[in-house]
Amino acid sequence: MKAPTGNRRGRPPISDGQGHPIDRHVGTRINARRLIHGMTQEDLAKAVSLSFQQVQKYERVANRVSAGRLYELARALSVPIQYFFDEFREEGEDGTPILTLREDHADMESVDRIGDPEISELVRAFIKLQRSNVWRTVIRLMSAMATAALEADSARAGDSGA
């Protein structure tokens, strides 16, 4: 007798009950990009003619995303389809990488990995600024603040070590 493979109706084998790793990754990327755009699940659903429940199922990996639907989501979220696969890593049982999917271009949104709502809000506000000297000024201001914070942290660490 053949052992069950878990491939019911074309679904990939799932060992942990939480979907295939690539499906989880795609769902996470849909969610992150939607939040960066300041969209609700309902907003995204309307943009691609779905119910918000279906978007929720994609994000939570209850349903897999078809190629055609992924294309529509990419257009609605203003990203290339590759965005959903960028930084996907699959590891073997010993933790060594088996597969990494990544384009040789700059990261679309570094904040995707952070997932902090305040950073997403900051990015959305920054994008709304007109590309001008304002961007450079904001970047210089934030860099100066980061440098000052690092120097303050180093000074405190030096004081506590003495």
More confident residue, 160 or 2: 160
Q: Is the pLDDT at 157 greater than 90, yes or no?
A: no
User: At residue 1, does pLDDT exceed 50?
Assistant: no
Answer yes or no: are the C-beta atoms of 92 and 98 closer than 8 Å.
yes
**15-114 carries CATH number 1.10.260.40:** yes
User: What is the C-alpha to C-alpha distance for residues 115 and 31, in angstroms, rounded to an integer?
Assistant: 10
pLDDT tier, 29 (very low <50, low <70, confident <90, very high otherwise):
very high
| pLDDT-wise least confident of 5-9, 16-20, 77-81, 124-128 | 5-9
Which pLDDT value is given to residue 3? Answer: 45
112-139 confidence digits (pLDDT tens): 545 567 777 777 777 777 766 777 888 8
User: Which of 27-36, 41-50, 99-108 is most confident?
Assistant: 41-50
Predicted confidence (pLDDT) per residue in 57-103, tens digit? 999 999 999 999 999 999 999 989 888 888 777 766 666 666 555 54
pLDDT for 105 equals 44
The percentage of residues in the chain with a pLDDT greater than 70, rounded to a whole number, is 68
Q: How many other CB atoms are there within 10 angstroms of residue 108's CB atom?
A: 20
Using CA atoms in the order 125, 129, 133, 139, what is the torsion angle rounded to 10 degrees?
10
Q: Where are the domains of the chain?
A: 15-114, 129-162
Rg of the chain over all Cα atoms, to the nearest angstrom: 21
Please give the model's pTM, rounded to 2 decimal places: 0.54
Question: Which of 105, 89, 91, 119 lies closest to 28 in space, CA to CA?
Answer: 89
The mean per-residue pLDDT over the stretch 9-38 comes to 76
